[in-house]
């Protein structure tokens, strides 16, 4: 089978597409023919060896995928060959086949394209877990989304609206801010401007942000926390800017604010029932049309490097998807 293979931690230009043996299937596992894989910042960091945990070399990157069950000895988890599924795993998605346990999969509703499914689970589950389960975002509250045009950011914009919040999207270019408005933001702010916190103060009528969804990191995170409302919640989702900020501890004290970590990778281990409930909620919204996932650009497997470059330059709108097979 064809697969993207990381033999040494390196930049995307040094990662190759190779012909490798199909993975062996073990007891209780299934083989899925991958149709599409979504890629995110974590995938890029893992390939370069810069993520908090390192995958043993060599490995196939990619954590999110959609496809068709090809083999299912004993029908583990009730899955049968021919069933359409979406899944998340530690690695292995950027390949024509992947072997996983049934816990990694979720049935794909009828009518949902593989490209949509491959850009859905990680981003939208992250957003709903963060906003609902962690921050308890309420109807009418002010939600500030940093990096609002990225895959996770635009999911937070949509989920925030779904939960009844007033959504303020922070993004760095006119195109990104227009993109956020198109997908449900009530207001936008340009956080590259030195006075952006004054603009945010005006937009919230002096109240500040009740909840901050932050997949960006860097200095912008500290600036945003300084504009948090009393008893506000700042969600630490990721560090797309590349720098991990240092927050002065007097700020949470003065603001009565809380800093909340959001690590989706630990959710199925530590809170499996919460994950099950949130996925059911998301799927129901998907099926009845209340939620329309945003797919950015779609690339062929041979063009996987360009998909990563587009994402890493932060010029992308929405999530990048690699089409594996039809």
Instruction: Round to whole Å and give the CA distance between 198 and 294.
Output: 30
pTM of the model: 0.88
Residue 292 is predicted with a pLDDT of: 87
pLDDT-flagged residues of the chain (< 50): none
Residue 308 is predicted with a pLDDT of: 92
The conformational region for residue 163 under phi > 0 = left, psi -120 to 50 = alpha, else beta, is alpha
Residue 50 is predicted with a pLDDT of: 86
CA 23, 312, 259, 231 torsion: positive or negative? Answer: negative
E strands, the chain, in order = 2-5, 16-19, 30-39, 64-71, 84-88, 97-100, 105-107, 142-146, 166-171, 187-190, 209-214, 228-236, 258-261, 295-300, 319-323
State pLDDT tens for residues 107-142: 998 889 999 999 888 899 999 999 999 999 999 999
Residue 53 is predicted with a pLDDT of: 82
- 189: β partners: 170
Q: List the domains of the chain with CATH numbers.
A: 2-120+293-323 (3.90.180.10), 124-265 (3.40.50.720)
Instruction: Round to whole Å and give the CA distance between 31 and 324.
Output: 15
- 38: β partners: 64, 321
CA 208 to chain centre: 25
State pLDDT tens for residues 166-210: 999 999 999 999 999 999 999 999 999 999 999 999 999 999 999
């Amino acid at each position: 089978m064809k697969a993207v293979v990381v033999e040494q931690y390196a930049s995307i230009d040094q990662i190759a597409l190779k012909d490798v043996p199909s993975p062996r299937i073990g007891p209780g596992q299934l083989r899925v023919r991958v149709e599409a894989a979504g890629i995110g910042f974590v995938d890029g960091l893992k390939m370069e060896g810069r993520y908090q945990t390192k995958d043993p070399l060599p490995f196939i990157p990619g954590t999110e995928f959609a496809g068709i069950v090809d083999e299912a000895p004993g029908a583990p988890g009730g899955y049968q060959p021919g069933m359409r599924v979406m899944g998340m795993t530690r690695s292995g998605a950027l390949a024509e086949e992947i072997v996983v346990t049934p816990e990694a999969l979720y049935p794909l509703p009828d009518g949902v394209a593989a490209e949509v499914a491959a850009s859905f689970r990680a981003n939208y589950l992250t957003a709903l877990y963060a906003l609902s389960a962690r921050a308890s975002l309420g109807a009418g509250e002010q939600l500030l989304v940093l990096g609002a045009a990225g895959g996770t950011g635009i999911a937070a914009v949509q989920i925030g609206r779904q939960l009844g919040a007033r959504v303020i999207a922070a993004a760095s270019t006119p195109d990104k801010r227009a993109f956020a408005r198109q997908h449900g933001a009530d207001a936008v702010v340009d956080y590259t401007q030195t006075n952006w916190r004054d603009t945010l103060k005006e937009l919230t009528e002096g109240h500040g942000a009740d909840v901050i969804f932050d997949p960006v990191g860097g200095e912008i995170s500290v600036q945003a926390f300084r504009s948090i409302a009393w008893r506000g919640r700042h969600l630490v989702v990721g560090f797309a800017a590349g720098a991990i900020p240092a927050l002065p501890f007097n700020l949470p004290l003065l603001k009565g604010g809380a800093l909340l970590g959001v690590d989706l990778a630990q959710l199925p281990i530590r809170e499996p029932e919460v994950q099950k409930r949130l996925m059911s909620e998301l799927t129901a919204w998907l099926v009845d049309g209340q939620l329309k996932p945003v797919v950015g650009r779609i690339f062929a497997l041979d063009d996987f490097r360009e998909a990563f470059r587009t994402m890493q330059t932060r010029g992308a709108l929405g999530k990048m998807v690699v089409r594996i097979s039809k």
